[in-house]
Amino acid sequence: MTRVRTGDLHRSGTAPVAAPLHRIEAWVRSECPTWLPADAQRPLRVSALWGHRPGRATLLVSHRGRRAPRIVVKLASRDIDPGHLLREHHALRTAAQDLPPDVTDTMPQSLGLYEDDDMVAFAMTAVEGRRSTVPALTSSRPSRRDRHRLERHVAEVRAWSARLREVSPSREMVALADSRIGDSLRIRPEPDTVAPAGRHRLRDILESRDLGTLRWEPVWQHGDVAVGNVLRFRGGVHLVDWETARHDHMPWRDDAHLLLSFARDAQRSLGSDRIATAMPRMLAPTTWGGQLLAGLYRERWPHPVPLGTALLLTALDCARPDVLGPDVARHWAQLAVDLTSDEVLRRSCPWLVPS
């Protein structure tokens, strides 16, 4: 294995992964023999990627002479909570049992979990495809190609999500009050994620719209459908990063999250403090992106729950500090409040807010 020095995993503020990587090499060779060269002495090629969160790293493993990785190994130091790795490992294992081959072929296959005193890691197959790209929705002069790329991206991802819903095993209906959203409104692991006034307003909104009686059949959804997690492959899409995937998501979760992810990306690029402040710049009906997406979503919304309500419930479902961390959860929680009370957003993007 080409050695990636432990010290290298300190780049960009990332805490070092303490375990010597020769342990990972031995484990990968023993757990993943069919995905690696038969010759045990043949050297492996490793590239390291660094995330924005401390204590994490990703290794792309292949054999010499092959550029595309065969295996992806995600690592987490014991100094941080490795829950994201365990969730993704469990989600991929469960999905492999629940879903048919035409769906599991579009996602990684979990190959094994590794734990020692220093770190937690799990290996999965590398997913084929090229990163999907969409034009900047804040652009004022999009080309015809830009419009086509955005429309194609939305259509392909929503078709994939529809197939995922279609093949999910049947489960009992669940009410909003008994769902994870109901739990998060009652008891929040991080009390400051939503200010008390905001929590009370959200509770009032849900009750005033009789959403407490809303029911749905839970289905498999990826949970984090965003441009960076979508790979284009042979006229379809493959999805990576399954740590938020669950078998009991709301059926509109991926469709709604795809739309909100454009606003989340714009928030980052614009340096805004709130997602809602970025939305008028790119999703108002006066913008080209807003016109195109409003048409795609309003005319082809396949769920009985209105779009604005689905966006509100999805933002609330994303506001979970135990899954995404308190900083990210705070952005989503604030968006949920803004969808119900921000007057600028309600005036500029009426098609996005709960009616």
Please give the share of the chain, as a percent, with pLDDT higher than 90. 31
**What pLDDT score was predicted for residue 14?**
40
Instruction: Give me the amino acid identity at 350.
Output: P
Q: Tell me which of 79, 98, 125 is where a domain ends.
A: 125
Boundary of a domain, candidates 125, 151, 179: 125
Do 114 and 168 reside in the same domain of the chain? no
Beta bridge partners of 39: none
Q: Read off the CATH number of the domain in which 265 is found.
A: 3.90.1200
For residues 135 and 70, membership in a common domain is answered with: no
Same domain, 180 and 117: no
Q: Any idea what DSSP says for residue 107?
A: S
The secondary structure of 182-212 as a DSSP string is HHHHH--SSGGGS-HHHHHHHHHHHHHTTGG
Q: Are residues 196 and 106 in the same domain?
A: no
- Same domain, yes or no, for 241 and 92? no
64 and 190 co-located in one domain: no
291 with 181, same domain: the answer is yes
Kindly state whether residues 54 and 146 are assigned to the same domain. no
Query: Per-residue pLDDT tens for 87-131?
Result: 999 999 999 999 999 999 999 999 989 888 878 888 999 898 888
Start-to-end CA span in the chain (Å): 57
Q: Residue 236: what pLDDT? A: 86
List beta partners, residue 61: 46, 71
Range of the domain at 307: 130-352
Same domain, 298 and 219: yes
Q: Range with the lowest mean pLDDT among 160-164, 305-309, 318-322? A: 318-322
Where on the phi/psi map is residue 97: left (φ > 0), alpha (ψ -120 to 50), or beta? Answer: alpha
Cα separation of 189 and 321, whole Å? Answer: 7
